[in-house]
Amino acid sequence: MSTQSTPIAAVILAAGKGTRMKSSLPKVLHPVASVPMVGHVVKLALDVGAAPIALVVAEGMENVVAVGREIAGEVDVAIQKEQNGTAHAVLAARPVLGELDGILLVLYGDTPLLTQTTLEQIIETMDADSKCAVAVLGFIPEDAGAYGRLVLADDGTLEKIVEAKDATEDELAIELCNSGVMAIRANVAWKLLAQVKNDNAKKEYYLTDIVALARAAGYTALAVEGDEDEVLGINSRNELAIAEAIFQYRARQKFMDAGVTLIDPDSVYFAADTAIANDVLIEPNVFFGTGVTVASGVHIKAFSHIDGATIGTNSTVGPFARLRPNTTLGADVKVGNFVELKAADVKAGAKISHLSYIGDASVGEDANIGAGTITCNYDGYLKYKTTIGKGVFVGSNSALVAPVTLGDGAMVGAGSVITEDVAGDAIALTRTAQTVKAGGAKEFRTKKSAEKLAKKKA
Ligand code: UD1
Ligand code: CA
């Protein structure tokens, strides 16, 4: 949370269709680090203490709104029917935001890498200067291309922004570009925006025009310089991959700085919300989906896929383990190779060492689940629960047909199909008794080799 007390409202522009993604999904819903890019922006707005937060979307983008609500709980929604430019888009939020105090932040839904530190710098810049009506995040890109250029006055303040299409030769030579991120003094925002005209190359209402309008009204404007990596706007799948790479690089550095060992950092992928304590060891080729929390001392072995799971202190997972959503491992749990867990609550000290599927289940403390044990949780229509008590021992290759309960201290003989509850400390065996015929194997071999010889001769 930000410490400043100025009220902040945020407008997140997300009405663009993003045709270059060539996708049926709105551009801002494509994920970076397993979270839709607009989700990163909503989270950032929350983190700097913005309330209200308004999302500007085009018609039919209910799925974008749903992501906003999932993250912020509450968002105001403005539908921009036609995309007539960035100023037009911000103005679309006026009816839902109403009169505001403090600062109005303008963010883009397709710019997910912006950091809280940089955004707070913009807010502080405005806070520190009561004459400043617009503070803009600028950056120096490798290639200025189509970006708007920030024209600075002699005193270093921001004079105006010119769009590349409307710029003179001299203006095009300016290196400092507009990221699009902007803070506007809220009590003049609507008044300034209402003055924006569309007499430009694109016949659009440019948000960037409010810099010159603010100055004409007697205010100043300021530019804050940020890093190109933070303001990468995503328009194509290629840029999506670049953003992912930047995000993952940052995440790997952050975790290593916090005391996590990554044997091969470049092969480990985190979600935006992954939480990992110190002294965790992660082997190569591990993927984290959303909603994962890993406690201290955990060892995650190579090629594991972990999604929506909580892993307790000193547990080991993998190699080749798959933890699916709503799985919780207590302390000192062992989940070994080729084990899949889904909605499994595995208590401290339990071991599921090899080749198992444990779904919709609870596994008691210190239980030992033998190799190849399967919880049969689904009958083709509905799912059912398996409850395995404390200290239970399940023999290898057993099928536990849910709903079923194994009481504390119960045992299941290898190869059993358990369809009924087993009481605590009882032993259940469902396989047929073994029959043995002395010399039978030798007899069989003699008979079969004779048959084979006869067939060859024929
Ligand atoms: C804008 C800036 C430019 C800056 C660049 C940075 C203006 C006029 N220009 O240009 O100075 O260098 O961003 O990337 O602001 N959007 C809407 N409704 C609209 C128009 C846009 O929601 O009617 C949204 C888009 O979905 C996008 C964002 O606003 O997320 C930016 O719009 P875009 O058209 O991409 O602006 P640029 O031309 O790139
Ligand atoms: Ca753009």
Mean local confidence (pLDDT), 378-404: 98
Residues 213 and 293 in one domain: no
**pLDDT tens-digit readout, 331-370:** 999 999 999 999 999 999 999 999 999 999 999 999 999 9
Residues 190 and 84 in one domain: yes
Ligand 1 centroid from CA 86, angstroms: 5
Ligand 2 centroid from CA 233, angstroms: 6
Please indicate whether residue 180, judged by its CB atom, sits closer than 6 Å to ligand 1.
yes
**Is 245 contained in some domain?**
no
Ligand 1 centroid from CA 236, angstroms: 15
Residues 181 and 215 in one domain: yes
Residues 151 and 266 in one domain: no
The residue to mutate among 86, 158, 178, 184, having the most atoms of ligand 1 within 8 angstroms of its beta carbon, is 86
Please indicate whether residue 375, judged by its CB atom, sits closer than 6 Å to ligand 1.
no
Ligand nearest to the CA of residue 57, numbered in listed order = 1
Which atom of ligand 1 is closest in space to residue 82's alpha carbon?
A: 23
**Is 280 contained in some domain?**
yes
**Is 187 contained in some domain?**
yes
Q: Please provide the distance, in angstroms rounded to a whole number, between the alpha carbons at the two ends of the chain.
A: 88
Ligand nearest to the CA of residue 19, numbered in listed order = 1
Residues 270 and 193 in one domain: no
Question: 365 vs 93, 337, 358, 362, 370, CA distance in Å?
Answer: 54, 20, 15, 10, 15
Token readout for 324 is 């699916």
Which atom of ligand 1 is closest in space to residue 17's alpha carbon?
A: 26
CATH number of the CATH domain containing 169: 3.90.550.10
**pLDDT tens-digit readout, 144-180:** 999 999 999 999 999 999 999 999 999 999 999 999 9
**Is 175 contained in some domain?**
yes
Please indicate whether residue 235, judged by its CB atom, sits closer than 6 Å to ligand 1.
no
Residues 282 and 185 in one domain: no
**Is 168 contained in some domain?**
yes
Contact 193, 210 (CB under 8 A): yes
Ligand nearest to the CA of residue 85, numbered in listed order = 1
**Is 79 contained in some domain?**
yes
**pLDDT tens-digit readout, 184-241:** 999 999 999 999 999 999 999 999 999 999 999 999 999 999 999 999 999 999 999 9
**Is 455 contained in some domain?**
no
Look at residue 17 in the predicted model and tell me its pLDDT: 82
Please indicate whether residue 353, judged by its CB atom, sits closer than 6 Å to ligand 1.
no
Select from 175, 198, 231 the last residue of a domain: 231
| CA trace torsion 285, 272, 360, 283 (10° rounding) | 20
Residues 341 and 209 in one domain: no
**pLDDT tens-digit readout, 300-340:** 999 999 999 999 999 999 999 999 999 999 999 999 999 99
CATH number of the CATH domain containing 269: 2.160.10.10
CA-based diameter of the chain, in Å? Answer: 109
Mean local confidence (pLDDT), 102-115: 98
Residues 260 and 227 in one domain: no
Please indicate whether residue 110, judged by its CB atom, sits closer than 6 Å to ligand 1.
yes
Ligand nearest to the CA of residue 106, numbered in listed order = 1
**pLDDT tens-digit readout, 10-19:** 999 999 888 9
Q: What percent of the chain has pLDDT over 70?
A: 99
Question: 104 vs 76, 205, 441, CA distance in Å?
Answer: 14, 18, 85
pLDDT class for 1, splitting at 50, 70, 90? very low
Residues 270 and 189 in one domain: no
Look at residue 358 in the predicted model and tell me its pLDDT: 98
Ligand 2 centroid from CA 5, angstroms: 32
Please indicate whether residue 230, judged by its CB atom, sits closer than 6 Å to ligand 1.
no
Please indicate whether residue 147, judged by its CB atom, sits closer than 6 Å to ligand 1.
yes
Select from 171, 198, 231 the last residue of a domain: 231
Look at residue 4 in the predicted model and tell me its pLDDT: 53
pTM over 0.85: yes
Residues 261 and 222 in one domain: no
pLDDT class for 272, splitting at 50, 70, 90? very high
Catalytic residues: 354
CA nearest neighbour of 296 among 282, 278, 317, 283: 278
CA nearest neighbour of 27 among 35, 15, 41: 15
Ligand 1 centroid from CA 87, angstroms: 9
Look at residue 2 in the predicted model and tell me its pLDDT: 46
Please indicate whether residue 16, judged by its CB atom, sits closer than 6 Å to ligand 1.
yes
pLDDT class for 428, splitting at 50, 70, 90? very high
**DSSP designation for 378:** B
Residues 277 and 161 in one domain: no
Ligand 1 centroid from CA 206, angstroms: 8
Which structural domain range is residue 115 located in? 8-231
Domain count, the chain: 2
Residues 264 and 312 in one domain: yes
Q: Whose CA is nearest to atom 35 of ligand 1?
A: 16
Please indicate whether residue 178, judged by its CB atom, sits closer than 6 Å to ligand 1.
yes
Q: Whose CA is nearest to atom 26 of ligand 1?
A: 16
**Is 456 contained in some domain?**
no
Phi, psi of 9 (to 5 degrees): -115, 150
Mapping DSSP to helix (H, G, I), strand (E, B) and coil, where does residue 80 land?
coil
Token readout for 366 is 């210190």
Strand partners, 215: none
Q: Please name the helix (run of DSSP H) or strand (run of DSSP E) that holds residue 198, with its range, or none.
A: none
